[in-house]
C-alpha cells in the first residue's frame, strides 16, 4: 500500500493508539496537517506556544500512562519544544516529539527556519532521529514509541524533513521492534532480592522512600503489600506522591528540602532505607555525606546508572519496581515495629510541620488546603514551581493514584497551565485543578485560550502574593534580605480571564475562599480564581541549601513567629 511520509506518521500513531496530538503548524510540518482529516480517530489540539505542546503531552502521559505526543514545525517551533522535552527527560516521562524539518537538500545549509534540533536535544532525549529516508520512517516511529515507553521512560524526538513527508513509499508496519543494543527488560538478581528481604526482616527502624518509579511501573498494590506486611512507614518523594494512598496510616508525606520535619529526622534514625523507583535527588537527601547515617540502603531502580550515583547502596536491585516488589514480597516476613512507629508518631506530635496557622489573614497554604478539602476524593492536581508547589505537595494526602502532576526534576515555572490542559485531555471526566504561582502563570498564560477553545473545565487557582515567593524567601533568608527583582506588578487576572472568555473570581479575604471554590466547582467551564494571599508568608519546613536533613528548620511555633505575622 503506497503512502506518503506524512500518512505513514499518522498510520503509525494510530497503531500506537494515539488519540491526541498537541501541536502547532508551520511551513515544515504542513504535510502532516494535510493528512489530519484522513485520521479522525486522532485529535489535534492546537496550543498557543510549542512549549505548551510538550508540557501538555508530558502531563497527558503522566495521567494516562500512555505515550504523549506533540509536534511542531522546524526551527523556532522545534526549539520552543526544548524546555518541555527537558522537563520530560528529568522526570522520566514518555513523550514522542515529531518536528518537521526543512527540506532535506537544505539541511545543514542554514535554510529558513532551520535548527539542528537533533543536536540541540541530544542531551535531553532518550533517543533522537533525523529521518533521511522515507523507507526508514515506519520502523523509526515504532522504535521511538518502544524506546520512549520501556525501561526508564523518556522523551524521543523525530526530525522529519518536509519533502520526505510528501514522498510516497510502500507502507509496511513492522510488527516487531528489534534493537539489539537496547534491552530494557532487566532480569532481577534473585540473590539481591534475598539480601534485601533479609535486611528488611532484620530491620528495627525501616523506612521506604517511594518515587516516581512506583507510579510509572504501576506498582501501587505491590508497594502497599510490602509496607503493610513488613509494617514500614512510606515516605513519598515529590514525584512519588500518588503512588501510595494518602489516607493510609503508614503514609508519612514528603521528605527533603520542604518535606515534613518528622521524615527528615526519621531518615537520620532509620536502620534500613529502601529507595524504590527514586534517585536520591539532592532535594531529597540534603548534604549527601550526612544522609541516613545509620541506615543500610536498599535501592531498587530500573536505571543501573542511578544505583550508586548519589548514595552508597548495600543492596542494589536493578530492575522494574513492580517485578522487584513482586519477587520481594513473598520473602518478607510479616512484622510489627510499634516502637519505631511510636517514635515517628512522637516526632509528628512534637513537630507537626504543616499546620496552617489560624489567623485572619488569607494564607496561601490555607487556600491550598481548602482546595483539597472541597474537591472530593479524585481531583487531579497540577502545579507550577515554587512555594505554592511545595505547599500543594505538603498537603497532598489523597488516595487518587498518579493524580499529583508537577515538574520535579527540572522545576519548570509555567508548567501549571499547559500541563493542566494535557491532564484534562487525559482525564476528560475528572476534576483538574491547576495551582499556579503568579509568576509561573504569566509564563504560559496564553494557553488560557487553548483551554477556552477546547472547553476544558479546568479550575485555575493563582496563589498570588505579587512576589516570586520562593526566590523572595531565599533572598530574605540567605541573601541578607536583599530583595531584588522579585516584586512583581500583576495584571488584573480576573479581567484577563474574562477577556479570554472564561470566568474569573477574586478572593482577598479568608471568608471568601470557600464560596469561591464552591462557585468554581459548580461552574461547568474553566474558572480562574485570583487568590490575593498574604504576600510574605514563608514556606516551612525548610532545609537551608547545602545543609543536611537533620538541620531542617521546622515551621516556627506561634511564639517564634516574627511580629508581622503575630499582628495578623
Considering the rule CB under 8 A, would residue 303 count as an interface residue with another protein? yes
- Interatomic CA distance for residues 531 and 186, integer angstroms: 48
CB closer to another protein, 119 vs 293? 119
Report 64-123 residues binding another protein (CB under 8 A): 118-119, 122-123
Binding part of the chain for another protein, among 43-51, 191-199, 298-306, 452-460 by CB under 8 A, reads: 298-306
Q: What is the rounded CA–CA span in Å between residue 426 and residue 413?
A: 21
Does 130 bind another protein (CB under 8 A)? Our answer is yes
Closer Cβ to another protein, 192 or 398, answer by number: 192
Identify the helix (H) or strand (E) that includes residue 383: strand 380-383
Q: Residue 141 or 332: which CB sits closer to another protein? A: 141
Closest to another protein by CB, 180 vs 428, is 180
Strand partners, 218: none
Q: Which residues contact 392 (CB under 8 A, 6 or more apart)?
A: 368, 381, 383, 404, 406, 435
Rg (CA), the chain: 24
Q: Does 309 bind another protein (CB under 8 A)?
A: yes
Q: Which stretch binds another protein (CB under 8 A): 41-49, 172-180, 461-469, 526-534?
A: 172-180
**Closest alpha carbon to 516 in 366, 357, 360:** 366
Question: Taking CB under 8 A as the rule, does residue 172 contact another protein?
Answer: no
Conformational region of residue 112, where left means phi above 0, alpha means psi within -120 to 50, and beta covers everything else: beta
CB 114 within 8 A of CB 75: yes
Q: Is 403 in the site for another protein (CB under 8 A)?
A: no
Starting from the edge strand earliest in sequence, which strands make up the sheet with 206-210, in order? 234-236, 206-210, 272-276, 296-301, 315-318
Tell me the C-alpha distance between 548 and 527, whole Å.
41
Question: Shortest gap between Cβ of 305 and another protein (angstroms)?
Answer: 4
The continuous run of DSSP H or E covering 5 comes out as helix 5-15
Residue (103 or 344) nearer to another protein, CB: 103
Q: Per CB under 8 A, which region of 49-57, 130-138, 361-369, 444-452 contacts another protein?
A: 130-138
According to CB under 8 A, which one of 108, 293, 304, 342 is a site residue for another protein? 304
Shortest approach of another protein to residue 129 CB, angstroms? Answer: 6
Q: Are 541 and 552 in contact (CB under 8 A)?
A: yes
Name the DSSP class of 176.
S
Contact call for residue 288 and another protein (CB under 8 A): no
Report the residue from 22, 24, 71, 129 that binds another protein according to the rule CB under 8 A. 129
Cβ-based nearer residue to another protein, 250 or 307: 307
Closest CA to 157 of 45, 83, 81, 87: 81
Alpha carbons 123 and 118: distance in angstroms, whole number: 10
Where do we find the cell 510488527? Answer: 175
Tell the smallest beta-carbon distance from residue 138 to another protein (Å): 10
Q: Is 127 in the site for another protein (CB under 8 A)?
A: yes
Does 178 bind another protein (CB under 8 A)? Our answer is yes
- Identified binder of another protein from the candidate list 14, 179, 288, 499, rule CB under 8 A: 179
Instruction: Give least dist CB 7 to another protein, A.
Output: 19
- Total Cβ atoms within 10 A of residue 481: 9
The helix (H) or strand (E) run that includes residue 301 is strand 296-301
The closest of 245, 247, 239 to 275, measured between CA atoms, is 239
Binder of another protein out of 17, 38, 112, 133 (CB under 8 A): 133
Write the interaction track for another protein spanning residues 139-168; mark x where CB under 8 A is met and - where it is not: xx------x---------------------
Q: Which residues contact 289 (CB under 8 A, 6 or more apart)?
A: none
Minimum separation from the CB atom of position 163 to another protein (A): 15
Interface with another protein includes 180 (CB under 8 A)?
yes
For residue 454, state whether it binds another protein (rule: CB under 8 A).
no
Task: Tell me how many residues contact another protein (CB under 8 A).
Answer: 27
| Least distance CB 149 / another protein (angstroms) | 14
Site of interaction with another protein (CB under 8 A): 118-119, 122-123, 126-133, 135-136, 139-140, 147, 178-182, 303-305, 308-309
Amino acid at each position: 500500500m503506497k503512502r506518503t511520509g506524512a500518512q505513514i506518521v499518522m498510520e503509525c500513531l494510530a497503531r500506537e493508539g494515539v488519540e491526541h496530538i498537541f501541536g502547532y503548524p508551520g511551513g515544515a510540518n504542513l504535510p502532516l496537517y494535510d493528512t489530519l482529516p484522513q485520521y479522525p480517530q486522532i485529535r489535534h489540539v492546537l496550543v498557543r506556544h510549542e512549549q505548551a505542546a510538550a508540557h501538555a503531552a508530558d502531563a497527558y502521559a503522566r495521567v494516562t500512562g500512555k505515550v504523549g505526543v506533540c509536534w511542531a514545525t522546524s526551527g523556532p517551533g522545534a526549539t520552543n519544544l526544548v524546555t518541555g522535552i527537558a522537563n520530560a527527560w528529568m522526570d522520566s516521562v514518555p513523550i514522542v516529539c515529531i518536528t518537521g524539518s526543512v527540506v532535506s537538500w537544505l539541511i545543514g545549509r542554514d535554510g529558513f527556519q532551520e535548527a539542528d534540533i537533533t543536536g540541540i536535544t541530544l542531551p535531553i532525549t532518550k533517543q533522537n532521529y533525523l529521518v533521511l529516508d522515507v523507507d526508514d520512517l515506519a520502523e523509526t516511529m515504532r522504535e521511538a514509541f518502544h524506546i520512549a515507553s520501556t525501561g526508564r521512560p523518556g522523551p524521543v524526538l523525530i526530525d522529519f524533513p518536509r519533502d520526505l513527508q510528501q514522498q510516497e513509499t510502500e507502507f509496511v508496519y513492522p510488527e516487531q521492534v528489534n534493537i539489539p543494543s537496547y534491552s530494557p527488560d532487566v532480569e532481577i538478581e534473585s540473590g539481591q532480592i534475598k539480601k534485601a528481604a533479609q535486611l528488611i526482616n532484620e530491620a528495627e527502624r525501616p523506612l521506604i522512600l517511594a518515587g516516581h518509579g512506583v507510579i510509572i511501573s504501576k506498582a501501587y498494590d505491590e508497594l502497599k503489600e510490602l509496607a503493610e506486611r513488613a509494617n514500614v512507614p512510606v515516605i513519598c518523594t515529590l514525584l512519588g506522591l500518588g503512588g501510595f494512598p494518602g489516607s493510609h496510616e503508614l503514609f508519612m508525606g514528603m521528605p527533603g528540602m520542604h518535606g515534613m520535619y518528622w521524615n527528615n529526622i526519621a531518615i537520620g534514625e532509620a536502620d534500613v532505607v529502601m529507595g524504590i523507583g527514586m534517585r536520591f535527588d539532592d532535594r531529597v537527601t540534603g548534604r549527601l555525606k550526612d544522609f541516613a547515617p545509620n541506615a543500610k540502603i536498599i535501592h531498587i531502580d530500573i536505571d543501573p546508572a542511578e544505583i550508586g550515583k548519589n548514595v552508597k547502596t548495600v543492596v542494589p536491585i536493578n530492575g522494574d519496581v513492580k517485578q522487584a516488589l513482586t519477587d520481594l514480597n513473598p520473602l518478607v516476613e510479616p512484622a510489627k515495629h510499634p516502637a519505631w512507629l511510636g517514635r515517628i508518631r512522637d516526632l509528628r506530635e512534637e513537630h507537626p510541620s504543616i499546620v496552617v496557622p489560624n489567623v485572619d489573614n488569607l494564607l496561601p497554604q490555607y487556600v491550598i488546603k481548602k482546595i483539597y478539602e472541597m474537591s472530593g476524593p479524585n481531583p487531579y492536581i497540577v502545579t507550577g514551581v515554587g512555594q505554592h508547589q511545595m505547599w500543594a505537595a505538603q498537603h497532598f494526602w489523597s488516595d487518587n493514584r498518579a493524580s499529583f502532576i508537577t515538574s520535579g526534576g527540572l522545576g519548570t515555572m509555567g508548567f501549571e497551565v499547559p500541563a493542566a490542559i494535557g491532564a484534562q485531555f487525559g482525564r476528560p471526566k475528572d476534576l483538574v485543578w491547576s495551582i499556579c504561582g503568579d509568576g509561573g502563570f504569566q509564563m504560559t498564560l496564553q494557553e488560557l485560550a487553548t483551554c477556552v477553545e477546547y472547553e476544558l473545565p479546568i479550575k485555575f487557582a493563582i496563589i498570588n502574593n505579587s512576589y516570586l515567593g520562593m526566590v523572595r524567601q531565599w533572598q530574605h533568608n540567605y541573601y541578607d534580605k536583599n530583595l531584588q527583582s522579585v516584586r512583581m506588578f500583576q495584571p488584573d487576572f480576573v479581567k484577563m480571564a474574562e477577556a479570554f472568555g472564561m470566568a474569573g473570581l477574586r478572593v482577598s479575604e479568608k471568608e471568601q475562599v470557600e464560596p469561591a471554590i464552591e462557585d468554581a466547582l459548580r461552574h461547568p467551564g474553566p474558572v480562574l480564581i485570583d487568590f490575593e494571599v498574604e504576600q510574605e508568608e514563608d514556606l516551612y519546613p525548610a532545609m537551608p541549601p547545602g545543609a543536611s536533613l537533620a538541620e531542617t528548620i521546622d515551621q516556627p511555633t506561634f511564639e517564634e513567629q516574627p511580629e508581622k505575622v503575630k499582628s495578623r
